[in-house]
Each structure stands twice: as structure tokens, then as C-alpha cells.
Structure 1
Amino acid sequence: MSNSDPLIVGITGATGAALGVETLRACRDLGVPAHLVITETGLRALTLETDLGFDDVKALAAQTYPNKDVGAAVASGSFKARGMIIAPCSIKTLSGIAGSFSHNLMIRAADVCLKERRPVVLMVRETPLHKGHLSLMSRAADLGCHIMPPMPAFYTKPQSIDDMVRHIVGRALDLMSIEHDRVDRWQG
């Protein structure tokens, strides 16, 4: 797969909007076209947690789609995407994906990637977790999703939150087979 193949990036209303923003920045820097879907609550979290607005993240994406547009290009299996990263992924979105309840574009795009056997990475952002959350993650994994709660790695001796966010996003890019240098690799 080449870097010209688009990656669908989803940002939901769970805390951690910086993860989605960094995914978009990484795509831009690596020449990977990012097709963005952001939920209404994702936009709210973005403005609460960062100094960015919709126009800022829209500028990082090659294409942006309204979450209510279930007829958008990324809603079809004929749209050739390399996969999807949802960063952060809310429990509500996880629930929709685990139940194949495609009532919005975010969930529909993930469902399409799964049916086409394309990778889907869910950076589930919730803690603590109860058994219902764990069951949903298990169901999503059974469907083919990579469940990737955004856990920081400390062996890299991060100096900032930005360092941790870059490393987490780099590991998600690894799951998409996107070549990058955003991760300090473990050398043993």
C-alpha cells in the first residue's frame, strides 16, 4: 500500500482530541491523505481541550465529511481507503461499531472498513472500565478492530504530553503499515 492511499481519521467526543489532531498532522507530514469524520461532541471536545477549532483540523485533512452524511464517499466499500483510526474513540462509538449499528458516518465508515477487511484502530478513551465496556471491546475485536487504548510508553522517557501523544499515534500508524519515524523503537 502506498502513502497515496487515504486513511480515514475519526475524532469522537471522548477526551483526547489531541490524539486525533496528531494523527491528522502525522498524515499530512507523511503525505498520507487523511479523510476526516468528526462527531458533534468531538468538535466540542476539540474546542474544550485544545486551542484549535474546526477550520484548523479541516485544514489538516485532505477531505472532511459531516458525520450525518451516511452517503459520503467513505460510507462505501468501493472507496479505496487503507483503513480507519478513531482517535479518540468514545464508548458510544465503540458500542455502535460492536453492534454494527451504522446510524452515522463514523460508525458506517468503520463498518465498511471491517467488511472490506481493512484495519480499524479504536483508541478507546474511558477509565475505569466496567464489564460492559470490556464486552464491547471484545466484540469489536472479534469483528476485526484493533483495540488500542492510548496508553503512554515510559521507556522512551517522554519529556512532554506531546511526546506521549506522538508515540501513541506512531504505534497506531504501525498498525496501518504506514512508515514513519515518530516512535523511539525499543532496542532491548
Structure 2
Amino acid sequence: MRLVVGVSGGSGIPYALSVLRALRDLEVETHLIVTSGAKRVMTAEGGPQLADLTALAHVTHDDRDLAASIASGSFRTDGMLVVPCSAGTLAKVAGGFADNLLARAAHVTLKERRRLVLVLREDPLSRPMLQNMLSAFDAGATVMTASPGFYHAPDTVGELLHFVTARVLDQFGLDVPGFRRWKEAEA
């Protein structure tokens, strides 16, 4: 399997790190794009940094390189996810505005009818964001929020991240080891 992983400027870079770790463990080929906004957020939040993300990716693409392999529909992938997905990136995807590689790769994913998952980590949601979420959904994207569940009685932030990671990767038919599903033990 080959997935494109976009990281945009929304708060929540630890979600991206968790997803990339899981994809590495599942032996999924990853093509990473990190926007300039995401790089600013990394610095401001002081959590995972660019080197942490790129160490987990098979290929890292410059967000300014609109001629990268992933900018073409002839480059086969099994889909793309954007985690975290900023309000600005959501608006670009919803409106088909491809001024950077992340937005272009998302556009290509939709036009090729591949799975695109946008993981928003921003609250509260404004009316334009809600409209953009609906437009992205109508265009074929899956829109998720980074909202961990609590039925598995998490004790750590890592367990909350793991929950969201597992739910995101469920969208691609990938099973993340250690994920406890609702009432699974009862089945």
C-alpha cells in the first residue's frame, strides 16, 4: 500500500506523528508533505518537529514542488490523508484551489476517485468551515475530527492519539494493533 500523508498548519502535529508511526509499523509506503504553516505550528507548540516526521516517511516532498510525482494522477497511490488539516487547507480542498503540493495532491486524489481523509483539529467550527466540510465531503473526501473516544478508558495522551490514529487508518482498511473496538471483547 502507498499513501500520501499531508501535514498542514492546524494544531495537533502529534496526531501526524502517531499516524506516521502506525503506517511505518504496518509497512505502508508513505509520501509526506509538510506545509510551511505546519512547520510554524511545530515550532510554536514545541512537540514533534520536522525531523521526527521525515524520519518516519519513505519519501518527503517539498510543499512548493508542484511537479512532484504525487502531483500527477498517473502516480498511483491508495489515497491520501491530511492530519492535522487546517481550516485553510480544508478551504483549498473544498474549493479546488491547488496553490501548494498538499492541495494539489488532494485535488489529484479526488479527481482520480481515491480515498481522501481530512482530519480537522480546530474548534469551534465557523459557518465557512462547516460549509467547506460539506463541500469537501460532496467532492468525495471523508471529513473527520481528531476526537478521541473514551470508552476504552485511556490513561495517557498516547492512548488518545492511538484511538484517533486507528479510526483514521480504518478509513483505508488498515488495522492498527492494540486498538480496542467498541464491545469487541463481547463478540
TM-score normalised by L of structure 2: 0.94
Q: Indicate whether 1:164 and 2:160 are aligned.
A: yes
Q: Does 1:133 align with 2:126?
A: no
2:22 aligned to which of 4, 20, 26: 26
Letter in structure 2 aligned against 1:8:
V
Q: CA deviation at 1:108?
A: 0.6
Question: What is the CA deviation profile of residues 76-123 of structure 1, one whole-angstrom value per residue up to 9, with x for unaligned ones?
Answer: 111111111100000000000000011110011011011111111111
* 1:117-155 CA-partner distances (Å, limit 9, x unpaired): 111111112111121110000000000111101111010
Residue 11 (structure 2) aligned to one of 4, 11, 15:
15
Asked if residue 103 in structure 1 is aligned to residue 89 in structure 2, the reply is no
Task: Structure 2: state its 5+ residue gaps.
Answer: none
Q: Which runs of 5+ in 1 are unaligned?
A: none
Asked if residue 58 in structure 1 is aligned to residue 49 in structure 2, the reply is no
Letter matched to residue 150 of structure 2: F
Identity of aligned residues (%): 39
4+ aligned runs moved over 3 Å, structure 1: none
How has the CA–CA distance of structure 1 residues 38 and 96 changed in structure 2, closer, same or farther, with 3 Å as cutoff? Answer: same
Native 8 Å contact 1:8 1:83 kept in 2 = yes
Match of 1:81 among 61, 66, 77: 77
Structure 2 residue matching 1:31: 3-state secondary structure: coil
Length-normalised TM-score, structure 1: 0.94
For residue 151 of structure 1, what is the amino acid of its counterpart?
S
Alignment-mate amino acid for residue 118 of structure 1: R
The alignment partner of 1:60 has SS state of coil
What is the CA distance between 1:35 and its match in structure 2?
Answer: 0.6
> Cα offset for 1:51?
4.1
Tell me which amino acid in the other structure corresponds to 1:34: T
